[in-house]
Amino acid sequence: MTVDPLTATMRIAATGLEAQGTRLRVIAENIANADSTAIVPGGDPYRRKTISFTNALDRSLGAETVEIRRIGRDRGDFELVHDPSHPAADEDGYVKRPNVSTLIEMMDMREATRSFEASMNMIEQARSMMARTVDLLRG
């Protein structure tokens, strides 16, 4: 069964909201763990999480919605800081810091917010178009 295009618009936009919402959650995890080092000497600290999207055909809507392809880990190098008194310091006194850059996370967050708002905008416009159609009955 096919859905009318305006209802389909709302459902498609809802998948966008969900995807960007999950992205914001991943960003929040990264920012919250920007200082999470290991608890054992020489251990690895928090590794930054990444998220990627893919387009998936939704047969009931006849449209391509967005889905989360993978939440992975950033394989970038950790920064070494000399701090011998830290509990996670190795024998040379170096501590591995998480590979989270708050600046990059902020940029990512802005982009996610912008995409979220764009999807929201599509829902609002579809609603107003539906309301306009119903208004036809008033004559």
Residues that bind other proteins (CB under 8 A): 4-6, 8-9, 12-13, 15-16, 19-20, 23, 52-55, 63-66, 111, 114-115, 118-119, 121-122, 125-126, 128-129, 132-133, 135-136, 139
Looking at the Cβ atoms of 22 and 101, the one nearer to other proteins is 22
Measured from the CB of residue 10, what is the shortest distance to other proteins in angstroms?
8
For residue 94, the cross-strand partners are 82
Alpha helices, H only, 33-138: 102-135
- 31 CB contacts (<8 Å, ≥6 apart)? 100, 102, 105
Looking at the Cβ atoms of 38 and 51, the one nearer to other proteins is 51
72: which 2 tokens? 């992975």
Looking at the Cβ atoms of 20 and 99, the one nearer to other proteins is 20
Distances (CA, A) of 49 to 5, 6, 23, 25: 36, 35, 10, 10
Looking at the Cβ atoms of 28 and 118, the one nearer to other proteins is 118
